Amino acid sequence: MKRLIAMIALMTPAAFGLAMADTPRQMGDAYGAAAGAGYQASAPRGADFYARRFGVSEKMASCTACHTDKPAQPGEHVITGKAIKPLAPGANAERFTDPAKVEKWFRRNCREVVGRECTPGEKADFIAFVAEGR
Amino acid sequence: MKRAMLAIALAAASVGALADRMPIPAGAPPAFKAECGSCHLPFPPALLAADDWRRVMNKLDRHYGDNASLDEKAHRQIGDFLVKNAGSSRKLGGAGGDPPRLTLTDWFRKEHDEVPASTWKDKRVGSAAHCGACHARAEQGSYRERELRVPGMEGKRHGRD
């Protein structure tokens, strides 16, 4: 019995870790649900948001400034020149699998580029567009 | 006398080491690479003095044109790590900029005094913080002159070694 409890205790962090890993679809669904009952995420709306020139930051006027016109392509940080892996999950399987990381970057980049936090609906649309992988 | 010689040899070795090999020191919290290495190379802590790192960490919301704010735990871990592994202010000199920039210490400027203005302006370089634009193995913490690949100077010998 003791051994069984020990085994369960050992397995729990692993099981928890697995539960933490999400798919882009699950993450998009979660943001969609947070946007309100009946919200339908839209890839075309996400595409428009992705390409829109907010102009809040001179160098980072839009998402495309660092991530290029196509989320499936590698990007480059517009100030430091550091390579950025593609946003599209089809080109980079790590994307949109870690909710905390996704939320952190939405928070940072939305403030920087959009000038405010993004809404759950905008995030759901963004993921719907990026997950198309073009 | 022997002790003096040893001191000189050690000093020379450490100057060389500062110039050539700057791997991320052991004991770096995972947050260091994850947070400081997402927009730029996770810079070697030895490139700024402790007081200058403190000033950088106290202004993360205005981080050279970006908001790089951290949660409290990551902020403390990274700050402690940077200060503990900071460089010597005597060797580096004070850093210019507000917050201070490790590309504006006396040491950094002297090390890069041969780099022509045209190279700094080259689109492939873009920023003095883009170490990897010329230091091909910067990601591995290696800055040896023989590894230099300066955009626009391909094939030319460059450096003092």
- Please check the confidence at residue B36 and state whether its pLDDT lies above 80: yes
Find tokens 């010998």 and name the residue: B157
CB contact under 8 A, B65 and A79: yes
Instruction: Categorize the per-residue pLDDT at A15 as very low, low, confident or very high, splitting at 50, 70 and 90.
Output: very low
Give the three-state DSSP class for B57: helix
| Amino acid in the structure at residue A64 | T
Question: Å from A40 to nearest chain B CA?
Answer: 31
Q: Supply the pLDDT for residue B161.
A: 47
Each residue of B6-34: pLDDT tens digit? 555 554 444 444 568 999 999 999 999 99
Q: Is the pLDDT of residue A14 over 50?
A: no
Instruction: Report the chain B residue with the minimal C-alpha distance to residue A77.
Output: B39
Contact B42, A86 (CB under 8 A): no
From chain A, pick out residues whose CB is under 8 angstroms from the CB of B130.
80-82
B125 to chain A: closest CA residue: A81
- Residue B76 host element (H or E): helix B72-84
| CB contact (8 A) between residue B39 and residue A77 | yes
Asked if A112 is an interface residue toward chain B (Cβ–Cβ < 8 A), one would say yes
Chain B contact present for A51, CB below 8 A: no
A46 vs chain B: nearest CA distance in angstroms? 24
CA distance B41 to chain A (A): 7
Asked whether the beta carbons of residue A82 and residue B133 sit closer than 8 angstroms, the reply is: no
- Chain B residues touching residue A108 (CB < 8 angstroms): 67-69
Q: Is A18 on the interface with B (CB under 8 A)?
A: no
Reduce the DSSP state of residue A23 to 3 states and report it: coil
Q: What CA–CA distance (Å, rounded) separates A101 from A107?
A: 10
Nearest to B53 by CA among B20, B28, B84: B84
- Collect all residues of chain A within an 8 Å Cβ-Cβ radius of residue B125: 81
pLDDT tens, B47-86? 999 999 999 999 998 899 888 989 999 999 999 999 999 9
Give Cα B53 distance to the centre of its chain.
Answer: 12
Question: CB neighbours of A8 closer than 8 A, spacing ≥ 6?
Answer: none
Region for residue B93 given its phi and psi (left: phi exceeds 0; alpha: psi -120 to 50; beta: otherwise): left
8 A C-beta contact, residue B69 and residue B61: yes
How much is the pLDDT for A22? 87
Say how many CB pairs under 8 Å bridge A and B.
35
Q: Is the per-residue pLDDT at A6 higher than 70?
A: no
A77, A97 in Cβ contact below 8 A? no
Q: Which residue has the higher pLDDT, A5 or B49?
A: B49
Helices (H), B85-151: 89-92, 106-111, 117-121
Residue type, B153: M
Out of A57, A79, A108, the one facing B127 most closely (by C-beta) is A79
Q: pLDDT (tens digit, 9 = 90+) per residue, A71-123?
A: 999 999 998 889 999 999 999 999 999 999 999 999 999 999 999 999 999 99
Encoding tokens for residue B91?
């060797």
